[in-house]
Amino acid sequence: MPEVRLSGLEKRFGSVVAVTEVDLIVRDGEYVTILGPSGCGKTTLIKMISGIWEPSKGTITIDGKDMNGVPIEERDLGYVFQNIALFPHLNIFENVAYGPRVKVLGKEYIEEIPRRYLGMVNLLDRMGLFPSELAGGEQQKVSLSRALASGSKLLLLDEPLSALDARVRMDLRYELRRLAKDLNLTVIHVTHDQEEAMSVSDRIVLMRNGRIVEISSPETMYKQPGTLFSANFIGETNLLEGTVVGTGGTTTVRLRDGSNLTLNSSGFHHGGAVVVSVRPENVYPADEGIPVRVSRTTFMGSYVRVLAKTEGNDDLEFDVPAKQNKCYREGDELWLQVNGNMAILFIAPEEGVMEAIKLE
Amino acid sequence: MPNIRLEGITVSYGRNNALDSYDLEVRDGEYLCLLGPTGAGKTTTLRTICGLTLPQTGKVIFDGKDITSTEPEERKAAMLSQGYSLFPHMTVRENISFGPEIRNWGEKERNESVSSMLDLVRLTRRADSFPHELSGGMQQRNALARALASGAEVLLLDEPLRALDARLRIDLRGELRSLSKSLGITTVHVTHDQDEALVMADRIAVIRKGRIVQIGTPREVFDDPRTPFVANFLGQSNFVNGFVRESGDRTILEDRVGRLMPGRASDLELGDQAVLGVKIGQTQISKDGEGHLKGEIERMLFEGHYIHVDMQVEDLGRFACKLPPRKMEEFDTGEVVNISWDPHEASIFPYPEGGLENELRVE
């Protein structure tokens, strides 16, 4: 059963360090996404795992075996690329039968295996068509069946949904997760899309500048992110700078507008510069609290996002259900409360907040 | 800035109609999003507006004036395609001043225009950088500045955010919209991303198979979809198939196993075959209490803002809903729950020609 271990992995191109100090264990049957902005090293990492590129330093073991010098075709893994790579002159059935045929399995397998995997992605009725006759999402499902038909229990997905329409992507990501779990596959999936990562993964590996920033479950990364960068990357958040004015079991922070917030965090020093991160769904209007003035409202479907400014000129966003009777308008003045259990406190970064969360 | 009207436009490539007697109006200074799946005719619409594609029939009208046969360079419409097509060997400043038209201006006038564009897109400090030294977002602003520098009055954006990372895309939505709004320029923005359209548009035109299916404010199109396709494309819906058993201030459908389901008023008649659609965000579940349907929870996925819940409903298939994260502990996979919705949130549609599955296809 495939467990993938990376230790001390590094890749250099000349003087450029693309990936460095990567240690990661992907457990058997686990679905792990490698998430990060363009240029963070995630593609380099998956190319090393697959054997397309050799690491400059460090080791990769799959199922306990050292992969040093082992070429891609001997690593026993399925690989799906962003750019759909089907054979244009073979029909759908033949494309999926390619793997079992290369493996020189018996004739009955060459008939049965493609049917089994095409059935799993609901494409049995398209078997006789050529790739160009299918839509993008369907083509990518064929690539997936082909990767699975090789019989490998380790699946590498390199931005498999990025070339597809947003709506198709949404449907396919649930499908990916369902298939992986039904077949008990170990999956390593590279993506720049935080929503995609959140809905398919058991664990997310967040990368930046060639290094791993944080490894945690989607829920932990969203609710208890370990760094300012993760807090902002994994979903939208309000970042408010302030100073610690009270410590003990809780921490009280004075914001730039002079109002105080008490949060369920500890370990911060009195007088220290800090940043509060709180997601818009954890900020709500109340009879007292931080005074703000509404500067914009945006309809988001099931909720309305309201952007407001504090007297300290900080932006503070909050959500109200779209069906609620109360409509906010530009210029409205109100008070906001922050749910102290759902807000995270960070020590203010030396380089400044903007630099710490920069996406590119 | 011009008001744009397309009247009865047909564009065909071979046997296929890319646009099929197509009508569209974009108001003066409006930010309109043209939303639809790949191959719906979105890019063809932009090309027709700026004159790169000549329609077989129909008229293109700017401010009441028929410009169907006017050359592209005389239309004052700037199109920004998916790739930014900046000249790699020219700096940011040179790229802007190389824009069509502006090249031939006097030096002083040209420099002034370029400086104000640099300022507008916040690239003054990077004026002497080359495109490859810029981030994706900056390259996009550079391309935008070049398009605007020649005094365009209509801005045509073809999936302007597609090449960027998902997280960055969210940050740049607001920026792009405010740029267009601050110039008061009439903008048509093509996208396949329903969230992008909801957040950015004054009005959304949903396009499918070369026709506009519905046009309205984001709230109108989301809350009151005209077809099952629109209901599902913007915000995902659950659907039930049945026959009208009661009509009046609400409609009641009965499905083939006799379950009764309430929805909004409609002008369908008793006995008509119909489809009820309710947004997954408006679908509720509970362990006790009344429900219109029963479902077994198949899986629960944490998605940050929400938990996405998939259920299996007997004789119907998959139903989904979204729960606030604090409800994660209340429910479990394998549990049977009651599914309900507010009848005023459920749209009623006549049964689509060609079947429901075909109607809902997103590609």
Q: Which of A179, A204, A229 lies at the terminal end of a domain, its last residue?
A: A229
Does B231 fall in a domain? no
Is there a contact between B168 and A360 if contact means CB atoms under 8 Å apart? yes
B352–chain A Cβ distance below 8 A for any pair: no
The pLDDT of residue A158: 94
| Listed residues B200, B223, B246: the one ending a domain | B223
pLDDT digits (tens, 9 = 90+) for A34-46: 999 988 999 999 9
User: Do A348 and A213 fall into the same domain?
Assistant: no
Say what the ipTM of the complex is: 0.87
Q: How far apart are CA A220 and CA B72, in angstroms?
A: 53
Q: Which two tokens stand for residue B199?
A: 């957040």
Asked if residue B74 and residue B108 are part of one domain, the reply reads yes
Could you tell me if residue B345 is inside a domain? yes
Within this chain, do residues A44 and A164 fall inside the same structural domain, yes or no? yes
Cβ separation A360–B199 shorter than 8 A? no
Q: Which domain holds residue B273?
A: 236-351
* B90 inside domain: yes
Is A304 an interface residue toward B (CB < 8 Å)? Answer: no
Question: CB-based contact (8 Å) between B193 and chain A?
Answer: yes
**Between residues 153 and 172 of chain A, which touch chain B (CB distance below 8 Å)?**
165-168, 170-171
Quick one: pLDDT band at residue B114, thresholds 50, 70, 90? confident
Rounded distance, CA B165 to CA B168, Å? 5
Q: Are residues A150 and A249 in the same domain?
A: no
Q: Do B199 and A174 touch (CB under 8 A)?
A: no
- A247-289 pLDDT, tens digit each: 988 999 999 999 999 999 889 999 999 999 999 999 999 999 9
**Which of the four pLDDT bands, split at 50, 70 and 90, describes residue B291?**
very high
Domain residue limits at A282: 238-357
Compute the distance between CA of residue A360 and CA of residue B90 in angstroms, rounded to an integer.
22
Contact A38 B165 (CB under 8 A): yes
What integer is the mean pLDDT of B93-103? Answer: 75
Pair (A211, A288) in one structural domain: no
The string of pLDDT tens digits covering residues B297-353 is 998 888 888 899 999 999 999 999 999 888 888 999 999 999 999 999 999 999 999
Asked if B212 and B259 sit in the same domain, the reply is no
Q: Are residues B36 and B155 in the same domain?
A: yes
pTM score: 0.91
We report the CATH number of the domain holding residue B207 as 3.40.50.300
Domain count, chain B: 2
Nearest CB partner across the interface for B279, out of A199, A299, A302: A302
Which chain B residue has the Cα nearest residue A37?
B165
- Chain B: closest CA distance from residue A64 (Å): 31
How many domains are contained in chain A? 2
| Chain B residues closer than 8 Å to A195 by CB | 166, 303-304
Q: What is the CATH number of the domain that holds A275?
A: 2.40.50.140
Residue ending a domain, among B182, B199, B223, is: B223
Residues of B in contact with A358 (CB under 8 A): none
**Which member of B38, B135, B299 has the closest CB to residue A360?**
B135
Q: What is the pLDDT of residue B84?
A: 66
Using a CB-CB distance cutoff of 8 angstroms, which residues of chain A are in contact with residue B308? 174, 199
Q: Which of chain B's residues have a Cβ under 8 Å away from the Cβ of A206?
A: none
Contact between B362 and A302 using a beta-carbon 8 Å cutoff:
no
Mean pLDDT estimate for chain A: 92
Using the 3D structure, point to which of B223, B254, B269 is the last residue of a domain: B223
How distant is the Cα of B40 from the closest Cα of chain A, in angstroms? 12
User: Is residue A102 pLDDT above 90, yes or no?
Assistant: no
Residues A244 and A317 occupy one common structural domain: yes
pLDDT digits (tens, 9 = 90+) for B258-275: 999 999 999 999 999 999
Give the confidence band of A105 by pLDDT, cuts at 50, 70, 90: low
pLDDT band of B113, cuts 50, 70, 90: confident
Q: How far apart (Å, rounded) are the C-alpha atoms in residues B26 and B41?
A: 16
Q: How many angstroms separate the CA of residue B71 from the nearest CA in chain A?
A: 33
B136: left (phi over 0), alpha (psi -120 to 50) or beta: alpha
Q: Is B27 left (phi over 0), alpha (psi -120 to 50) or beta?
A: beta
b/e per residue, A120-157, with b = 16+ CB within 10 A?
A: bbebeebbeebbeebbbbbbbbbbbbbbbbbebbbbbb
CB-CB under 8 Å, B304 with A198: yes
Q: Is B136 on the interface with A (CB under 8 A)?
A: yes
Torsions phi, psi for A44 (to 5 deg):
-55, -40
User: Do B241 and B219 sit in the same domain of this protein?
Assistant: no
The alpha-carbon gap from A170 to the nearest alpha carbon of chain B, in Å, equals 10
Which residues make Cβ contacts (< 8 Å) with residue A101, sequence separation at least 6?
A110
Q: Are A227 and A213 in contact (CB under 8 A)?
A: yes
pLDDT tens, residue by residue, A8-33:
999 999 999 999 999 999 999 999 99
Q: Average pLDDT over chain B, rounded to whole? A: 91
Q: Does A298 touch chain B (CB under 8 A)?
A: yes
pLDDT in tens, B173-217: 988 898 889 889 999 999 999 999 999 999 999 999 999 999 999
The larger pLDDT score, comparing residue A20 to residue B85, is at A20
Q: What is the pLDDT of residue A104?
A: 62
Residue A220 and residue A249 in one domain: no
Contact B139, A38 (CB under 8 A): no
Report yes or no on B362 lying in a domain: no
Q: What percent of chain B is predicted at pLDDT more than 70? A: 98
Same domain? For B183 and B54 the reply is yes
CATH of the domain at A211: 3.40.50.300
Q: Are residues A223 and A246 in the same domain?
A: no
Establish, for the pair of chains A and B, how many residue pairs have beta carbons separated by less than 8 Å. Answer: 106
Domain match, B33 and B91 both: yes
Residue A323 confidence (pLDDT): 80
**What letters, b where the CB count within 10 A reaches 16 and e where it falls short, cover B115-126?**
eebbebbebeeb
| Helix-helix angle A136-149:A107-120, to 10 degrees | 140
